[in-house]
């Protein structure tokens, strides 16, 4: 638990110390429970590597569990205003009633890929596809949950 808190503090420091963007998003599961979810996030950095802290909560059945996803993304700028990105991070569940945080699984992680379009120096929009992958005993050593999430949002750059 201490290492989890340490990683969170380091990530938050990096977000505050470097250039940041904040964003809100809305998404839906395409398989699985087919829930809609609301997301908010912070992202630091403007180069190839960026750090992120995302928070997701189901919209229809608001529960006491929040999903936090600290992640790292790789960004491929294809023009002044167009970027492709991919990201990887672990999943932390936060129980607001019990005031506890725990890692979803020690061998599962969130994987995402998307596009970002910068509308102005201040505003950007994005669309992404996310899933949960994990380490398994297979020829490729990586398994897939079978659940896809489609997410779109708008953000502010600082």
4 by Cβ neighbours in 10 Å (0-12 / 13-18 / 19+) ranks as middle
Q: Which domain holds residue 25?
A: 20-157
pLDDT in tens, 63-97: 678 889 999 999 999 988 999 999 999 899 888 88
Tell me whether residue 89 is in a domain.
yes
How many structural domains is the chain composed of?
1
* pLDDT for res 4: 66
Tell me whether residue 37 is in a domain.
yes
Q: 11 or 96: whose pLDDT is higher?
A: 96
Look at 39-43, 103-107, 115-119, 144-148 and tell me which has the smallest mean pLDDT: 144-148
CATH number at residue 88: 2.40.160.20
Tell me whether residue 100 is in a domain.
yes
Tell me whether residue 13 is in a domain.
no
What is the rounded distance in angstroms from the CA atom of residue 132 to the CA atom of residue 147? 7
* pLDDT for res 106: 77
End-to-end CA separation in angstroms for the chain:
32
- According to DSSP, the residues that pair with 40 across neighbouring strands are 24, 55
* pLDDT for res 125: 97
Q: Which DSSP symbol is given to 79?
A: S
* pLDDT for res 63: 67
Tell me whether residue 11 is in a domain.
no
pLDDT in tens, 91-124: 998 888 888 888 887 788 899 999 999 999 899 9
Q: 155 or 16: whose pLDDT is higher?
A: 155
The maximal CA–CA distance of the chain, rounded, in angstroms, is: 46
Tell me whether residue 47 is in a domain.
yes
Tell me whether residue 6 is in a domain.
no
């Amino acid at each position: 638990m201490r290492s989890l808190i340490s990683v969170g503090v380091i990530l938050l420091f990096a977000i505050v110390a470097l250039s940041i963007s904040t964003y809100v998003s809305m998404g839906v599961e395409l398989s699985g429970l087919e829930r809609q979810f609301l997301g908010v996030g912070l992202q630091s950095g403007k180069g190839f590597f960026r750090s992120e802290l995302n928070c997701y909560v189901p919209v229809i059945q608001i529960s006491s569990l929040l999903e936090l996803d600290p992640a790292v993304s790789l960004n491929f700028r294809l023009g002044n205003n167009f970027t492709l990105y991919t990201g990887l991070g672990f999943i932390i569940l936060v129980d607001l009633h019990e005031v506890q945080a725990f890692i979803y699984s020690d061998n599962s992680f969130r994987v995402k890929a998307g596009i970002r379009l910068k509308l102005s120096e201040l505003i950007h929009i994005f669309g992404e596809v996310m899933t949960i992958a994990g380490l398994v005993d297979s020829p490729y050593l990586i398994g897939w949950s079978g659940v896809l999430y489609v997410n779109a949002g708008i953000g502010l750059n600082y």
